[in-house]
A and B are shown apart, each in its own frame.
Chain A
């Protein structure tokens, strides 16, 4: 089994009464991509900040390549590469100057730095425009350079905090390919996103995080098994929650995931066949239905089932 490069045990971060991360544990092994999937404000970025030593956890343990991030901080950070959400670049410098600086920040000098610089520029497809000031780059190019700055020192652990936010489809494909290449070369990758498709297509293992807690963890197959073969039926309109709940519970194998005055989400197998019965039950409960959608089982439907919320809320 590959070496465990990120080990998180009961990580907790509180800001006064607010619990941003509520005691989560997971590990990421070398050569694998671990996805942290959750909506905005779920605690993904706080987790990344704790792992990278940017903020001090309230409690819990974080080890990077066997080094405790608090007690052996410099050794731990030497193995870390971070690609933050924002474009952490000096826009008045060129791509080469940015990479040289970030490489130097991790102790690279001289020929070694020069070789890494050339290799990374080639990998992200910016070699031909390496001497241009970054401010002249397109958004996608800046994203790629932001990514390259996190890799220039060949980290054994790569933290990617929603690296594809606001990226055009072409650049996104290229970035995801680069992430795969890093994992294939033995790097442990922790990847946070709220894009379900990205997580499904990229990650070897996934954890779904909501309100600072991991609500599900496993590989894709394990997570899909948690959902079973149930489809999600979303009804929007006007409902009396108490009356509708009482009536819907009578439908065979139906599970109420979410119920509010204007929306109802049910999980049930072969939802298409059960639609007439659902409409009949809704009519009996005096509900007014304006829109109906059925979703096949996916991470998104699992997330809704587990949290009662949309992933992008």
Chain B
């Protein structure tokens, strides 16, 4: 077994003797993921968006008021609303207790007012303790009210006929009147048909580039893809910084000098450290991405390759930070130097703020930073836009960078070991 592997095993043993440190490293990205998950309402597994709990007091109890009540629980609106019928007093009490998002009171005479084409008033009581869900209820109601107005306009003639028939015969409308209303409705639909079938305005729904995928990711997956990779890279940076600082302990304890005079080269020693770093970072990335996959419903099959890529990128980062530490005059300066370079890179490179949310010029710069470049590849892997074959050339670039950094670090370590 080569001395590099022996050093790697030794380093891993040392890491395992400090499980608390390892868990702290893992905790950084996981904690951020957890906070992100809580902030976006994820509960793990298939995430479901929050629903508006709407209490409806239908005091009119007519066919038309029933249609309004039904519209909240049918079709697409049914995914967003949970409707519960109550009387007005009970609804008011429950709103005061904060037990629902809003209370809609449909007053007596609502249906007749629609037929008579008279103004009528709907009462919506919002839960002051909630902000977004009552707002959704209000806006949905406004849209329905607008819809009712246009229906009134389109079906003005049939409605007039119904009103006149009611005036003539009360509740018992004759078959002749019903037939006349039916023909009038048919004409109204025919007149509006050229606008409605197909609609004159076509709504073209597009997804932003960042959230497109073959299968069409749901909302939580998009949030996960937006934030998780950056969080993982942030965790990898802190871990890499900590791992690179180990060289100061080696210098201060004299082990670096002792290694420098052994026949085994310091290049082998540093190689061993990087191999160990790859394993540690791989475990951390797998843990963080695995946690993220549970929170944000990312496909588990993509995690191993994404973790391996993250580990390789993290190892390159360790090599870079290690080199910086070797050029620093003391441990504190080393820490400041690596932070000074690392933090701006993290900020611009998409770890603090997702690249997709940045102004385009800044995002372009961010993608050109080493970490931004690696982060973009990670996102491609997580979105299945790249696979093992596509990731090989970038991996070769990373590997070459690691070898160059390692070589320079080895030379530098040999020089400073004499002064350690």
Q: Give A residues with C-beta under 8 Å from B.
A: 49, 52-56, 74, 77-78, 80, 82, 84-93, 97, 101-102, 104-107, 109, 133, 149
Q: Interface range on chain B: under 10, 10 to 19, 20 to 34, or 35 or more?
A: 20 to 34
Interface residues of B in 401-420 (CB under 8 A from A): 417-419
Is B43's CB within 8 Å of the partner chain A?
no
Q: Which of B17, B18, B255, B262 contacts A77 (CB 8 A)?
A: B262
Nearest Cβ on chain A to B249's Cβ, whole angstroms: 9
Cα-based distance from A52 to B254 in the complex (angstroms): 14
* Known contacts A52-B261, A77-B261, A87-B253: A93-B419 contact under CB 8 Å: no
Instruction: Give the complex CA separation of A93 and B11 in angstroms.
Output: 10
A107 touches B13 (CB 8 A): no
Tell me which residues across on chain B come within 8 A of A55, comparing CB atoms.
418-419
Q: How far is the CA of A93 from the CA of B13 in the complex (A)?
A: 8
Residue of A74, A84, A102 contacting most chain B CB atoms (<10 Å): A84
- Interface residues of B, Cβ cutoff 8 Å to A: 1, 3, 6-7, 10, 13-14, 17-18, 253-255, 257-264, 417-419
A191 → chain B, closest Cβ, in Å?
A: 17
A74 and B263 form a contact (CB under 8 A):
yes
In the complex, what residues of B have CB within 8 A of residue A105's CB? 3, 259, 262-264
A53-B261 contact, Cβ under 8 Å, with A86-B254, A93-B13:
yes
Interface contact B258-A84, CB-CB below 8 Å:
yes
Within the complex, what minimum Cβ distance (angstroms) separates B87 from chain A?
71
Whether the pair B13, A97 counts as a contact (CB closer than 8 A) is: yes
Q: How far is A101 from B17 in the complex, measured between Cα atoms in Å? A: 16
**Complex Cα gap A74–B264 (Å):** 8
CB distance from A130 to the nearest CB of B (A): 15
Is A133 in contact with B17, judged by CB distance below 8 angstroms?
A: yes
User: A106, B255: Cβ atoms under 8 Å?
Assistant: no
- Note all chain A residues with C-beta closer than 8 A to B254: 84-88
Complex-state Cα separation, A91 to B261, whole angstroms = 20
Q: How far is the CB of A273 from chain B (nearest CB, A)?
A: 51
How many Å from the CB of B316 to the closest CB on chain A?
A: 26
Q: Determine if B263 and A106 form an interchain contact, defined as CB atoms under 8 angstroms apart.
A: yes
| Chain A residues whose CB sits within 8 angstroms of the CB of B419 once the complex forms | 55
In the complex the two chains form, is B17's CB within 8 Å of A92's CB?
Answer: yes
20 contacts between A and B (CB under 8 A): A54-B261, A55-B419, A56-B418, A77-B261, A77-B263, A82-B261, A84-B257, A87-B253, A88-B258, A90-B14, A92-B18, A93-B10, A93-B14, A97-B10, A102-B258, A104-B6, A105-B3, A106-B263, A107-B264, A133-B17
Q: Whole-angstrom distance between the alpha carbons of A133 and B7 in the complex?
A: 18
Task: Give the residues in chain A near B257, CB-CB below 8 Å.
Answer: 54, 84, 88
Is B10 in contact with A54, judged by CB distance below 8 angstroms?
Answer: no
A88 to B1, CA, bound (A): 24
With a 10 A CB-CB cut-off, give which of A54, A55, A107 has the most chain B CB atoms: A54
Quote the shortest CB–CB distance from B309 to chain A (angstroms).
Answer: 30
Question: Distance in Å from the Cβ of A220 to the closest Cβ of chain B?
Answer: 30
Q: Is A54 touching B417 in the complex (CB atoms < 8 A)?
A: yes
Q: How far is the CB of A123 from chain B (nearest CB, A)?
A: 19
Distance in angstroms between the alpha carbons of A155 and B417 in the assembled complex: 21
Report whether A90 and B261 are in contact in the complex, using a CB–CB cutoff of 8 Å.
no
When distances are taken between beta carbons in the complex, the residues of chain B under 8 Å from A85 are 254
CB–CB B263/A78 < 8 A = yes
> Are A88 and B6 within 8 A (Cβ)?
no
* Complex contacts, B17 vs chain A, CB 8 Å: 92-93, 133
Chain A residue nearest to B6 (CB atoms) is: A104
Determine how close the nearest CB of chain B comes to the CB of A110; give it in whole angstroms. Answer: 10
Nearest-CB residue, chain A, relative to B259: A105
Tell whether A54 pairs with B263 under 8 Å between CB atoms, given A49-B418, A86-B254, A92-B17. Answer: no
